[in-house]
Chains A and B, each alone.
Chain A
Amino acid sequence: MRRVLVAVIAAVAAVLLLAFSGALFGHSPIALLAILIRGSIGSRFALEGTLLKSVPLLLTGLSVVIAFRAGVWNIGGEGQFIVGALAALAAARFGVIASLAAAILAGAAWASIASLMRLWRNAPEVLTTILLNFTAIHLLGWCVNGPLRERAAQYPQTDLAAAALPVVGGVHAGTLIALAASVFAWWMLYRTVEGLRLRATGLNPNAARWAGIPVRSQIVRAMAISGGAAGLAGGIELLGVTHRLFERFAAGYGYSGIAVALLAQLHPLATIASAAFFGALVTGAGELQRTADISAGVATFGQAVVILVLIVFEHVRSSR
């Protein structure tokens, strides 16, 4: 309960700080707050936007939850998201299920590059995953300008994907998949041997090793599962929302997953609420950009503030 309270305070503090930073540049904080709320939850259209943004955030958030629980720094959600979408596009002609399976596998494979580099060459995954993000971004840039460019050759984007997620009750089916994924992640982490070993590895790798857990292969598996979740996010975004790929496709969802996971205190089910909050923040920030000409980058700023406020709370709690 305490942890929920802390998370809510952090979220509220971030939104307020965001509004009052606007005051430094002559905007009225009240007006900014009003636009943020109206643009994210104020109408049916706004709510749909929030829901659409929450789905990829939920999956990239889960990706970070799993990695951080295992004690591996997967900062590579952005790149895994992109290669997931690329694989989904390539496999779309075999149907939605094959396409999403390809997205998961591609995300897992991309993340595994980093974990294998760590095992074999001692390269820290916190850096290799970030470098793989930049590599994936330029790989996508090459694809949409070169081999995968639309047949009309007008814009740097791909043709429509050959498959699309069905729409259930006004929202694409990816929403349900993402919700199911968070229940699955909870079950995996707290109700299976795999999850126990994964968490033990994260809590204390030395103790885990003495308990007979193969820590090295555990890290590789956790990284693959984590990458798979981010890849799935990319696949769902392609098949459910954008239907084609373009250069700025990832839009920071991978990095935002870190804030989503930390606000959820690394709990898979709490990640649902956390993703909804950040989905609302991103959607509200989009409205700020449209109506008040304020950069939508303020959503990123808000994510940072949430993390920093959480750190302060953690410090207060631990030093008592």
Chain B
Amino acid sequence: MFDLLVNAIPLAVVASIPLLLAVEGELVVQRGGIINLGIEGMMLTAAMTAVVAAQATKSVIAGFAGGIAGAAAIAALFGLFAIVLRADQIVTGTAINLLAAGGTSFVYREVQMFTREIPPLRTDAVLPLAWIAVPIVLGVVLWNSSFGLRLRACGENPEALAATGRSVRTHRWAALMIEALLVGLAGAYLSLALSSGFAENMTAGRGFIALSIVIFGRWKLKGALLGTAIFGLAAAMQYALQAANRGIPFHLLLALPYVVTLLILCGVAGRVRAPQGLGVRQR
């Protein structure tokens, strides 16, 4: 059992990169007072636009840019409804997820390019980016800059920020765009690096798992990294167990990540202190 765990570490580090980037992105928006349930649809859209861009230009870098652009478009739509029209965030997020699931499945059948091979990824710069650079940058921006302080004020007490003459909306838009950047990378990494192209519903709930890990991590970076590591190891163990063929049925192993996430959510012992303005409709 222990050797299985150790052997799973390299796989866990790589396979959980999309999840980690999504966790980091969702942490930023939730600190700003927004629950983006549409993160699942955002990642799925990015996975598709990344492949489209990579195919059109034969360049992986353009593919990642395409993924970010796709995520930004979804973020703009989410912001239009949740920030500008002040709609309920969970209803908006659900609609975005349906929109992305239906939209990508529609485009997948219309465009022939998804059967062709995608350009290969040579050096994996996203790995150190996701595990080292982004956490450091976010740590500095969120907790050691005046922008970060104001953004967290948006999450804790939007009225207080508004009273200082700053715009809550602008800060939330900024947070959404940071999330789009990270989730766009996540979606692109999923379809360009972890798999060989786009497949329908390929995100398979990663966005929802990311949301759960943000809560498990109590809206802190260290908690987010720890949660992703625990989850990543559990998910990698799933493959190791499959390979080891210890008589655990394949389909039950597929359910494992979601059960682990449920347990992770329940592991938030005691009182959780969420940002006070989280999910509250802004006037």
- Interface of A toward B, CB cutoff 8 Å: 21, 25, 73, 75, 117, 120-124, 126-128, 130-132, 134-135, 138-139, 141-142, 145-146, 255, 258-259, 262, 293-295, 297-305, 307-308, 311-312, 314-315
Contact = CB atoms under 8 A, between A and B. Distances in A.
B212 interface: yes
Contacts, number: 142
Nearest to A24: B110
Interface stretch (B48-56, B84-92, B123-131, B159-167): B84-92
B90 A126 contact: yes
B211 interface: yes
Nearest to A303: B98
A308 to B, nearest CB: 5
Nearest 9 Cβ contacts at the A-B interface: A297-B105, A301-B102, A300-B102, A138-B255, A142-B251, A304-B99, A304-B98, A307-B95, A123-B265
B176 to A, nearest CB: 17
Given A146-B251, A297-B105, 15 more contacts: A75-B94, A121-B268, A127-B211, A127-B265, A131-B209, A131-B262, A135-B255, A142-B251, A146-B249, A295-B105, A295-B110, A304-B97, A308-B81, A311-B87, A311-B95
Interface in B208-234: 208-209, 211-212, 215
Contacts of B209: 131
Instruction: Decide if the interface of chain B is mainly helix, strand, loop or mixed.
Output: helix
Given A117-B265, A122-B271, A142-B255, A297 B208 contact: no
A311 B98 contact: no
Contacts of B92: 308, 311
B45 to A, nearest CB: 12
Main secondary structure of the interface of A (DSSP, over half): helix
A138 B98 contact: no
Contact of A304 (B37, B102, B268, B272): B102
Contacts of A75: 94
Contact of A138 (B101, B212, B252, B268): B252
Nearest to B258: A134
A156 B90 CA distance: 35
A304 B95 contact: yes
A308 B103 contact: no
A27 to B, nearest CB: 9
Contacts of B265: 117, 121, 123-124, 127-128, 131
B266 A300 contact: no
A300 B101 contact: yes
B258 A131 contact: yes
Nearest to A316: B85
Contacts of B87: 311, 314-315
